[in-house]
Structure 1
Amino acid sequence: MAGLEQMTPHSRPQSETAPAAALTGALEAIGTGAYVVDPEGRIIAVNSRAEELLARPTEELLGRDAHDLLHRDAHGQRLPRTQCSMRQAFHTGRPAQGEADYFARGDGSVLPISWLITPYDIGGGSGTLVVFHTSDHAQKAGRQPGSAATPLSQLERLALLAETTTQLTSTLDVDEALRRLVTLVVPRLADWAVVDLITERDEVWRALVVHADGDTLVQLEDLQGPMPPIPEQSPMPLSKALRGVASAVAGPETYQREPDSGIAVEQRRLFDATGIHSAAIAPIRSTREVLGALTLGRAGHPGKFTTADLPLIEDIARRAGLALDNARLYERQRKVAETMQNHLLPQMPQVPGLQMTVRYLPAPDASQVGGDWYDAFSLSDGATALAVGDVVGHDLEAAAGMAQVRNMLRAYAWALREPPSRIVDRLDEAVMHITEVAMATMILARIEETDHGHWMLSWTNAGHPPPLLISHDGLARYLTDGHGLLLGTGSGRGRTDASVLLPPGSTLVLYTDGLIEEPGHTLDEGLSRLRRHAAALAHRPLASFTDQLLRRVRPAANDDDVALLALRTPGRT
């Protein structure tokens, strides 16, 4: 939203950003006029119903200060900011509503309105949702949303559904989606929320039992956990909801009769332990299947749920179902990608005298898993090959391309008793003609023991971040020689080799750019961070060195996978 926040009052975006488009989509689900303003009060998203009511196109609304453009008195005169009740409520940052106010329409007329405003997540920042309709439909003034003791007005229901859509569709983590769901409904609709989920093995798991303790939400973990199987014929409310049959209201008396299933026993235990005197239970469905059930319970106030409350709770549960289904599909994709990547990465050879360790960390986003790799293998002349690389792209195709490049590299390195540069030249030519890989970076090195018991490293670098060499005393330097173009350019220029005698007890680190690249920071900053921490960790055992290096250096905002190979030579005897 940064771009929108920087607009001048009369400017408009050239094209709608993805977050703004998502906001607009959420607002369209509201059955009356709605718009969202940024922290400065400028309109950043609007629905078509608001355009119609205000007789103004979206282009005339976006980027404008909502107060200056719309807020008027009954005679159409501009309201001083100090006299505008909506503006004052906006600055408090809390939900509020009012009636008998007026908006200026595009045709010069004045529109009597009732309104509700509430804080609203705008994707990485805070905004305010404004819901309004003509005052013919005004609800009783003075109610404050957020209290389960007072029935929600139609405006409040619409605002809650819009907020539910935005909150739940903006995460692909199941646990986070459940946390947001509970925060939305407790204590606004109830003081207890219970979520039962059907796992992919058709088992029922009570994922959350949460209640409001003042402003704090508290989990009752002893009521959470595995549940009995879903009975096929039970008419009890939760059993029917878990089968996707219907939603219902229930109370303690519903489960006082002889239980017909294990689930009924658990429901009786829930009512007894929580003191819930009234509950509404709705299925959580996706477009493909039933995912579970949402139970809202009231214990702290006398109001009971009625069948009139069920449509709203069903709408919320339906939105939760779509969000949970998306999150599950995402996690399934991520697991497939990680499993594929881990199976493609090789086991390290045992080289007498050398210590070696490797690490692979997948990207936080499943769609980013793919192209980073490492390798080490014995050569036909007794030396050991080391490689690390990155196939351009972040998906399963990149992972498949990585496997092709790595396997061809192994074949060439074993068959050709030539320097690394010649092997990579041959690989580059093959990649361009017999694979779908567009571009890739890599380092190929060979390490072998000399006649004097030292270790010699020779390498060539195809557009990859340089290796880092750290002495036993903590002196760290990058090996910048032997650098050439990345694979796939078709330049035909020959590559060069470089070599260095590794000091006793020294550590060599080969890595991919996910370790050092961070949005908003230069590559030199990342390289400096890596060198500084590697030098400080030089005395650690190699496994500890590697783990701590990843923990300290990998950027928190990293959106790429990381492959790392660390090697240590024997110390002085």
Structure 2
Amino acid sequence: MTGPDAVGSTEGQHPPAVPPSLSALLAALGTAAYAVDEQGRIVAVNAHAERLLARPAGELLDHDAHDLLHRNRYGAPLPRTQCGMREAYMARRTMQSDEEWFERGDGSLVPVSWLLTPLQLDSGAETTLVVLHLPQEHDAAGAEANRLHGPLSELERLALLAETTTQLTSTLDVEQALRRLVSLVVPQLADWAIVDLITEHGEVRRTVVVHAENGELVHREDLQGPMPPVLQGSMKPLSRALRGVSSALAGPETYLGAPDSGIAVEQRRLFEETGIHSAAIAPIRGVREVLGALTLGRSQQPDPLTAADLPLLEDITRRAGLALDNARLYQRQRKVAETMQRHLLPQLPQVPGLQMTARYLAAPDASQVGGDWYDAFTLSDGATALAIGDVVGHDLDAAAGMAQIRNMLRAYAWAQQETPSRIVERLDQAVLHITEVTMATLLFARMTFDDGRCRLWWTNAGHPPPLLVTSDGRARYLTEGHGILLGAGSHGPRPDASAELPPAATLLLYTDGLIETPGRSLDEGLHLLRRHAASLAHRPLEAFTDLLLERARPSGNDDDVALLALRIPPES
């Protein structure tokens, strides 16, 4: 029950018990109030405070009041060292303030005056009472407008730059860096943020156009997209910024009259569509080149941006340039590793009657690209060789190690008409002595057809077992022939195994990225893969493979995946 005479309570939560005397005191007050313990956690709150802060008691009780509520006038978290309220209740002394800013449950800010005084309860426990009310010249509806007015103080400026550095340097994804960048400057500095980036081919793309609307960042995708080229002779602010010349102020009047370039035409459209009356534009510079430009615009805030705002904007774009430069370099490295691996993966052979398909999915994290591979080729005696493996390591080192293992395996298998185990034993010795590969898993197999019957011989060096799915939807793992992984220093013989593969059955070879993920056991992953594969047994091989990847690959998987699928010919 919530009312003026009741203290809020939480349902389904278990905050510390509120003494009846404290509850009665808060309920008797005719204004918003709450109580905190010696650590600053809210232990009781009245209904007036719930309404003022637009938060039910369940969102307030047992939370740190400073972290949950306290903000500066621009909505940024208030450093604890600047919080007079926290200092007062930690020191157990009475204090008051005419105006502070609290964040409400809907994300808006409300200015409050407060009185803080220590209390000693009947039980002897110590607490602090915080009484809140709106300043006479404010109300909650005007809080958002007040948030956006006034220049930043030096401390706020430094806090914004520190947060910019922290936010942008903690990601190596260009799109995520841009999202963080605009959320830092809108609406704290402006109503609009526009990012124009120069691509690796020298083309300009308006990547982000975003503005603040009802406390949310809204993207104007209709204003985003390719831009005309940058003309060297153009003296308009955006063209100069994209050439790295200088920062500048701009407004609708800047782009009146005859345009000097296609970019000027787009800028005029931007001002007309957004209602921006004042803008500041600064280059985004990387280490070696100009990466683009950041434009801040004001349409709702009446105060125009001035030359005094340019140094802060330049500080922000300097940090953004370094972050974007690093992110681009990282993505370039990822692309090189992925491209190298894709080129190293083979073309599948044409075997009469046998359907064969393969997939390779790169990890979302470039540091994980490189280790997984598959192979299939025809041997000198007419059999078909199948291989799938995973080299321990990351990036180009793993991709290079994979190429070494694949090429040596091909050579041994072609030249030595021996059992799979014997060929892998030879390969294992080579891995130890003439490669830089530390360890790797491998499944190597020979497939033969005789009188319409398909037979598989294989040996497994620490790799997940093949999965055999019959046409009627039964699925089982081929767990035989399992031995230690390559590079472990084992000199003993390796086991072989064999099985006849039924007509129209599907054989699946895969790497552990298809079944393993943090928080899920290997057995769970194998069970899910088997169930999904069995349910797809009736699908054509290409659809079987794509749907299996879609359904079985763990969400949030941070590893790459290689997969080789074969469909045995049906009975003639």
TM-score (norm 1): 0.76
Contact 1:231 1:261 in 2 (8 A): yes
The 1:145–1:395 alpha-carbon spacing in structure 2 relative to 1, beyond 3 Å, is: farther
Corresponding residue for 1:71? Answer: 86
1:490 is paired with a residue whose SS is coil
Please give the per-residue CA displacement for 1:120-160, whole angstroms capped at 9, x wherever unaligned. xxxxxxxxxxxxxxxxxxxxxx9879943443333433332
**5 Å matches for 1:115-264?**
147-264=147-264
- Specify the code of the residue in structure 2 equivalent to 1:246: S
- Measure the CA separation in 2 of the matches of 1:146 and 1:182: 20
- Measure the CA separation in 2 of the matches of 1:155 and 1:518: 44
Contact 2:98 2:114 in 1 (8 A): no
**5 Å matches for 1:35-74?**
71-73=86-88
Corresponding residue for 1:513? Answer: 512
1:73 is paired with a residue whose SS is helix
Please give the per-residue CA displacement for 1:268-302, whole angstroms capped at 9, x wherever unaligned. 22222322211111111122221111111112232
- Measure the CA separation in 1 of the matches of 2:300 and 2:170: 32
- Measure the CA separation in 1 of the matches of 2:463 and 2:162: 47
- Specify the code of the residue in structure 1 equivalent to 2:387: A
- Specify the code of the residue in structure 2 equivalent to 1:540: R
- Measure the CA separation in 2 of the matches of 1:88 and 1:143: 9
Please give the per-residue CA displacement for 1:199-254, whole angstroms capped at 9, x wherever unaligned. 11222222222223323433333332222222324332112211222111111112
The 1:503–1:215 alpha-carbon spacing in structure 2 relative to 1, beyond 3 Å, is: same
The 1:523–1:197 alpha-carbon spacing in structure 2 relative to 1, beyond 3 Å, is: same
- Specify the code of the residue in structure 2 equivalent to 1:549: L
Corresponding residue for 1:281? Answer: 281
Contact 1:460 1:495 in 2 (8 A): yes
Corresponding residue for 1:302? Answer: 302
2:456 is paired with a residue whose SS is strand
- Specify the code of the residue in structure 2 equivalent to 1:454: R
**CA positional deviation for 1:97:** 8.6
Listed as ranges, the gaps of 5+ residues in structure 2 are 1-37, 40-61, 68-78, 117-141
- Specify the code of the residue in structure 1 equivalent to 2:386: L
Contact 1:147 1:189 in 2 (8 A): no
2:332 is paired with a residue whose SS is helix
Corresponding residue for 1:445? Answer: 445
The 1:96–1:184 alpha-carbon spacing in structure 2 relative to 1, beyond 3 Å, is: farther
Decide which moves more: 167-176 or 414-423. 167-176
- Measure the CA separation in 2 of the matches of 1:425 and 1:40: 62
The 1:326–1:197 alpha-carbon spacing in structure 2 relative to 1, beyond 3 Å, is: same
Contact 1:41 1:66 in 2 (8 A): no
Corresponding residue for 2:312? Answer: 312
- Specify the code of the residue in structure 1 equivalent to 2:556: A
- Measure the CA separation in 2 of the matches of 1:306 and 1:231: 26
2:91 is paired with a residue whose SS is coil
- Specify the code of the residue in structure 2 equivalent to 1:278: S
Corresponding residue for 2:538? Answer: 539
Runs of 4+ aligned residues of structure 1 deviating over 4 Å after TM superposition are 38-43, 65-70, 82-102, 142-146
Decide which moves more: 257-266 or 331-340. 257-266
**CA positional deviation for 1:183:** 2.2
**5 Å matches for 1:12-51?**
none
**CA positional deviation for 1:473:** 1.2
Decide which moves more: 214-223 or 536-545. 214-223
Corresponding residue for 1:14? Answer: none
How many pairs align?
Answer: 476
Corresponding residue for 2:136? Answer: none
Contact 1:71 1:78 in 2 (8 A): no
1:342 is paired with a residue whose SS is helix
Decide which moves more: 513-522 or 148-157. 148-157
Decide which moves more: 365-374 or 295-304. 295-304
1:234 is paired with a residue whose SS is coil
Contact 1:195 1:294 in 2 (8 A): yes
The 1:245–1:411 alpha-carbon spacing in structure 2 relative to 1, beyond 3 Å, is: same
Contact 2:278 2:304 in 1 (8 A): yes
- Measure the CA separation in 2 of the matches of 1:417 and 1:544: 35
Contact 1:41 1:67 in 2 (8 A): no
Corresponding residue for 2:475? Answer: 476
The 1:310–1:40 alpha-carbon spacing in structure 2 relative to 1, beyond 3 Å, is: same
- Measure the CA separation in 2 of the matches of 1:430 and 1:98: 74
Contact 2:284 2:318 in 1 (8 A): yes
Corresponding residue for 2:486? Answer: 487
**CA positional deviation for 1:69:** 13
The 1:266–1:39 alpha-carbon spacing in structure 2 relative to 1, beyond 3 Å, is: same
Contact 2:100 2:111 in 1 (8 A): no
- Measure the CA separation in 1 of the matches of 2:325 and 2:93: 47
- Specify the code of the residue in structure 1 equivalent to 2:395: D
**CA positional deviation for 1:161:** 2.3
- Measure the CA separation in 1 of the matches of 2:82 and 2:248: 43
- Measure the CA separation in 2 of the matches of 1:331 and 1:317: 20
- Alpha-carbon RMSD across the aligned residues, in angstroms, is 3.3
The 1:78–1:479 alpha-carbon spacing in structure 2 relative to 1, beyond 3 Å, is: same
**CA positional deviation for 1:83:** 9.1
The 1:86–1:252 alpha-carbon spacing in structure 2 relative to 1, beyond 3 Å, is: closer
- Specify the code of the residue in structure 2 equivalent to 1:405: I
**CA positional deviation for 1:500:** 0.4
2:276 is paired with a residue whose SS is coil
- Specify the code of the residue in structure 1 equivalent to 2:91: Q
- Specify the code of the residue in structure 1 equivalent to 2:506: T
- Measure the CA separation in 2 of the matches of 1:517 and 1:85: 57
Contact 1:197 1:291 in 2 (8 A): yes
- Specify the code of the residue in structure 2 equivalent to 1:335: K
Contact 2:96 2:115 in 1 (8 A): no
The 1:379–1:79 alpha-carbon spacing in structure 2 relative to 1, beyond 3 Å, is: farther
2:301 is paired with a residue whose SS is coil
TM-score (norm 2): 0.76
The 1:267–1:144 alpha-carbon spacing in structure 2 relative to 1, beyond 3 Å, is: closer
The 1:392–1:157 alpha-carbon spacing in structure 2 relative to 1, beyond 3 Å, is: same
Please give the per-residue CA displacement for 1:53-88, whole angstroms capped at 9, x wherever unaligned. xxxxxxxx9xxx9999993439x83269x9999999
Contact 2:66 2:86 in 1 (8 A): no
- Specify the code of the residue in structure 2 equivalent to 1:312: L
Corresponding residue for 1:127? Answer: none
**CA positional deviation for 1:42:** 10
Contact 2:108 2:143 in 1 (8 A): no
Contact 1:509 1:566 in 2 (8 A): yes
Decide which moves more: 483-492 or 218-227. 218-227
The 1:145–1:170 alpha-carbon spacing in structure 2 relative to 1, beyond 3 Å, is: farther
2:529 is paired with a residue whose SS is helix
Contact 1:168 1:181 in 2 (8 A): yes
**CA positional deviation for 1:89:** 4.5
- Specify the code of the residue in structure 2 equivalent to 1:73: A
- Measure the CA separation in 1 of the matches of 2:359 and 2:514: 11
Percent identity, please: 68
- Measure the CA separation in 2 of the matches of 1:364 and 1:97: 44
Contact 1:286 1:325 in 2 (8 A): yes
The 1:287–1:167 alpha-carbon spacing in structure 2 relative to 1, beyond 3 Å, is: same
**CA positional deviation for 1:503:** 1.1
- Measure the CA separation in 2 of the matches of 1:312 and 1:523: 52
- Measure the CA separation in 1 of the matches of 2:230 and 2:368: 38
- Measure the CA separation in 2 of the matches of 1:184 and 1:146: 18
